[in-house]
């Protein structure tokens, strides 16, 4: 009651419990439950994976195995904005590594991690399917194409 | 059953529908190589060693390919041979190929197959994955550098033992078989059963080696080193020296131990007879005085850790008896020490066990008296075989010798501890005699024998019905525990062995390659030898063991006496974290 954060968490776990109740016993329930859990919590911390494992009657190592196999699942809290720089063949040839390096430098964060203020998560991705615009990156759902490293500070400033 | 006819390498084969090409070929005596396949445990078509030509566009994995009518299979074409060879080379390209110093050398399925496929060079040099060795567990060492990711260990841990603490982590080249969240095996709910070791085709999972510390103790003139082998060791050790499965080597075992330099050769079977005196009495007390029932056996340390982690609510049901080798260790360091005027601090007790969980068990703080442990070192059947080889002993040609007097004497009841149902049967032989007040002739309780996962029986003793259940493998124990949870279990006495088949196929026993497991069931063959051992004994009931009677007369008084409790009983720990 006095602790607001716990109350919030409790609500989330109740939501997740409802998802588990609806899916339990159906074949292939694990992935959809994990996807829902990620959309509720934003990521899949150990406690949530344990909750899913116990709820569905599977082992933690099974949940963790799925969580680490699929790129769509994340184990750490994500930044407010998730940046994905394409390192697919076309983008790479067009210099996307330099774009990625510049982002890492500007944000002072290694690839795959989140800035200290929690604003940005910087990821390298496979082909985003916009090779015509190479080199490409996405921030959230926004696509930025034909990038040069020098454009980065101005783009970041918009967020 | 519908039969399907197909042709494999020009041979007509008829098998039931649903059979895989691999099994069909096996029935025609055609050997298709496998690595990830383990009969009844793992069939996932992952390693691509069993590729065959079925006339389809691509080669098919025989272990998961069902037969079909008129199918024409070729297992030995240039394309098949080349594909298998390339796949093997790819596996080897990311394998720590230090075969010369590997504990599994000469009993490694990867090594055997590479040799058979004629791989003479590994053409692919590239990045090697590097994951650290995990030796956090007191029983099991995990070496990812040797792992070929066949997933046989994962399958046995999840599906057979229902423990599931190791799994596939990550993807692609970075994949590793490990506990979740980078935890160490020693820190998760691993029960140390070692069935993963038995499933591993390579040296990626192995026991924590204790041979060096045992050699050191033997070499120390100040130490009085006493050894005791478990019942199941004597029906399996011979396999390590090329003897057929099921050969009984009890006499050679005693002879080998003596030649290795142990000061006293005692027998865990003596401890097993004492266990029956204590556990049988405990059961009678619980029945007569309204104690917690069903009582569950406590000999198997894999099972004990399982119940501590996953069903702690039933800990009061466990017999308080220590396991047989711990009992004998405690007796050696008290009764034997006093009788022979040896300071117990100078005694070093080595147990030879079919088990890796015993390594963890021996280090439990409750099993001993402070610094003075009941048992100082535990080696597996495999480790003993390695030591015998290291000592240059010609095991096969050893004469038969006896264990040393007093604590080397045992009965047939102790011998059968090594097979599932054996502890139950041994207890019944004694309990029935006590309740009936006479020496009964009918002593073979065949209803509790055999490898069925869960066995139930009702026996009538002195006009009283006793309902029994026996489970082997923790996956089967789970069935009984769930039954108890639902209040549907009205048993009086339950025996659980942590490993499928009981100790004869424990995690410390000689490893039987998957290929042999397709045609031979070591649980059955070794158990047969166990029952032969029993039948060959002069006395077959624990309370008839004259040396055990002497122990009670001279030292302990009665079973479950105060002194017996102090030395031979223990307590358990709730490890569920709840």
Contact B169 A68 (CB under 8 A): yes
Suggest the residue from A48, A57, A65, A75 to mutate for an interface test with chain B (most B CBs closer than 10 A).
Answer: A65
Contact B180 A61 (CB under 8 A): yes
Contact A61 B167 (CB under 8 A): yes
Residues of chain A found within 8 Å of residue B171, distances taken between Cβ atoms: 68-70
| Alpha helix stretches (DSSP H) within B189-348 | 195-199, 211-219, 250-260, 268-288, 301-310, 324-331, 337-339
Of residues B570, B571, B567, B569, the one with CA closest to residue B338: B567
- Residue pair B20/B37 in contact (Cβ under 8 Å)? The answer is no
Residues of chain B found within 8 Å of residue A65, distances taken between Cβ atoms: 167-169, 180
Domains, chain B: 3-90 (3.10.20.740), 140-208 (3.30.70.20), 212-568 (3.40.50.1780)
| Alpha helix stretches (DSSP H) within B134-267 | 152-155, 195-199, 211-219, 250-260
Handedness of CA B495, B497, B500, B502 (dihedral sign): negative
Q: Please list the pLDDT of chain B residue by residue as tens digits (578 residues).
A: 799 999 999 999 999 999 999 999 999 999 999 999 999 999 999 999 999 999 999 999 999 999 999 999 999 999 999 999 999 999 999 999 999 999 999 999 999 999 999 999 999 988 899 999 999 999 999 999 999 999 999 999 999 999 999 999 999 999 999 999 989 999 999 999 999 999 999 999 999 999 999 999 999 999 999 999 999 999 999 999 999 999 999 999 999 999 999 999 999 999 999 999 999 999 999 999 999 999 999 999 999 999 999 999 999 999 999 999 999 999 999 999 999 999 999 999 999 999 999 999 999 999 998 889 999 999 999 999 999 999 999 999 999 999 999 999 999 999 999 999 999 999 999 999 999 999 999 899 999 999 999 999 999 988 889 999 999 999 999 999 999 999 999 999 999 999 999 999 999 999 999 999 999 999 999 999 999 999 999 999 999 999 999 999 999 999 999 999 999 999 999 999 87
Does the beta carbon of B167 lie under 8 angstroms from any beta carbon of chain A? Answer: yes
Residue B572, C-beta contacts closer than 8 angstroms, at least 6 positions apart: B304, B307, B308, B315, B318
A7: pLDDT confidence band, cut at 50, 70 and 90? low
Q: How many C-beta neighbours within 10 Å does residue B277 have? A: 26
**DSSP for B311-344, written as a single string:** -GGGGGGB--BPPHHHHHHHHIIIIIHHHTT--G
Q: How far is A98 from chain B (nearest CA, A)?
A: 25
A6: pLDDT confidence band, cut at 50, 70 and 90? low
């Amino acid at each position: 009651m006095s602790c607001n954060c716990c109350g919030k968490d409790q609500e989330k776990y109740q939501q997740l419990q409802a998802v588990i109740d609806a899916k339990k016993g159906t074949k292939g329930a694990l992935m959809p439950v994990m996807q829902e859990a990620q959309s509720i919590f934003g990521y899949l911390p150990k406690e949530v994976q344990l909750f899913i494992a116990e709820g569905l009657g599977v082992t933690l190592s099974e949940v963790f195995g799925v969580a680490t196999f699929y790129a769509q699942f994340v184990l750490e809290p994500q930044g407010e904005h998730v940046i994905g720089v394409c390192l697919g063949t076309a983008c790479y040839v067009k210099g996307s590594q330099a774009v990625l390096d510049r982002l890492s430098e500007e944000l002072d964060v290694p690839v795959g991690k989140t800035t200290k203020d929690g604003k940005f998560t910087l990821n390298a991705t496979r082909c985003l399917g916009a090779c015509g615009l190479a080199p490409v990156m996405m921030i959230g759902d926004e696509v930025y194409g034909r990038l040069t490293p020098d454009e980065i500070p101005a783009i970041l400033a918009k967020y | 059953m519908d039969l399907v006819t197909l042709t494999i390498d020009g041979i007509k084969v008829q098998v039931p529908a649903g059979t895989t090409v691999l099994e069909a070929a096996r029935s025609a005596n055609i050997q298709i190589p496998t690595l990830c396949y383990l009969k009844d445990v793992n069939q996932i078509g992952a390693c691509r060693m069993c590729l065959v030509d079925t006339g389809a566009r691509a080669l098919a994995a025989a272990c998961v390919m069902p037969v079909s009518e008129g199918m024409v299979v070729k297992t030995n074409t240039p394309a098949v041979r080349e594909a298998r060879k390339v796949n093997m080379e790819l596996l080897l390209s990311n394998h720590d190929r230090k075969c010369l110093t590997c504990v599994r050398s000469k009993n490694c399925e990867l090594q055997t197959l590479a040799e058979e496929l004629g791989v003479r060079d590994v053409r692919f040099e590239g990045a090697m994955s590097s994951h650290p060795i995990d030796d956090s567990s007191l029983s099991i060492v995990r070496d990812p550098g040797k792992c070929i990711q066949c997933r046989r260990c994962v399958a046995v841990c999840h599906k057979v033992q229902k423990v599931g603490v190791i799994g596939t982590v990550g993807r692609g080249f970075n994949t590793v078989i490990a506990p979740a969240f980078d935890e160490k095996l020693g820190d998760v709910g691993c029960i140390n059963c070692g069935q993963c070791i038995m499933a591993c085709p390579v040296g990626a999972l192995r026991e924590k080696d204790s041979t060096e510390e045992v050699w050191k103790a033997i070499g120390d003139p100040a130490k009085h080193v006493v050894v005791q082998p478990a019942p199941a060791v004597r029906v399996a050790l011979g396999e390590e020296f090329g003897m057929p499965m099921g050969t009984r080597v009890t006499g050679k075992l005693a002879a080998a131990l003596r030649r290795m330099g142990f000061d006293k050769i005692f027998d865990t079977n003596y401890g097993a007879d004492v266990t029956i005196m204590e556990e049988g009495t405990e059961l009678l007390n619980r029945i007569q005085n309204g104690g917690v029932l069903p009582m569950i056996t406590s000999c198997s340390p894999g099972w004990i850790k399982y119940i501590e982690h996953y069903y702690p609510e039933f800990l009061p049901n466990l017999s308080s008896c220590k396991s047989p080798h711990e009992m004998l260790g405690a007796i050696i360091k008290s009764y034997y020490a006093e009788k022979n005027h040896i300071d117990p601090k100078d005694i070093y007790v080595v147990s030879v066990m079919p088990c890796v969980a015993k390594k963890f068990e021996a280090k439990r703080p409750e099993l001993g008296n402070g610094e003075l442990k009941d048992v100082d070192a535990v080696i597996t059947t495999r480790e003993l075989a390695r030591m015998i080889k290291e000592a240059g002993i010609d095991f096969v040609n050893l004469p038969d010798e006896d264990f040393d007097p007093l604590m080397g004497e045992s009965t047939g009841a102790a011998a059968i501890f090594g097979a599932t149902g054996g502890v139950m049967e041994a207890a019944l032989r004694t309990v029935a005699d006590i309740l009936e007040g006479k020496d009964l002739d009918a002593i073979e309780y065949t209803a509790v024998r055999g490898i069925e996962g869960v066995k139930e029986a009702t026996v009538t003793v002195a006009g009283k019905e006793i309902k029994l259940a026996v489970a082997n493998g923790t996956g089967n124990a789970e069935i009984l525990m769930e039954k108890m949870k639902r209040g549907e279990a009205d048993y009086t006495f339950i025996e659980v062995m942590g490993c499928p088949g009981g100790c004869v196929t424990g995690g410390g026993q000689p490893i039987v390659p998957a290929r042999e497991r397709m045609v031979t069931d070591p649980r059955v063959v070794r158990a047969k030898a166990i029952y032969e051992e029993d039948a060959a004994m002069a006395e077959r009931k624990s309370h008839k063991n004259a040396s055990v009677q002497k122990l009670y007369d001279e030292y302990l008084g009665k079973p479950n006496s105060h002194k017996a409790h102090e030395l031979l009983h223990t307590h358990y720990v709730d490890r569920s974290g709840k």
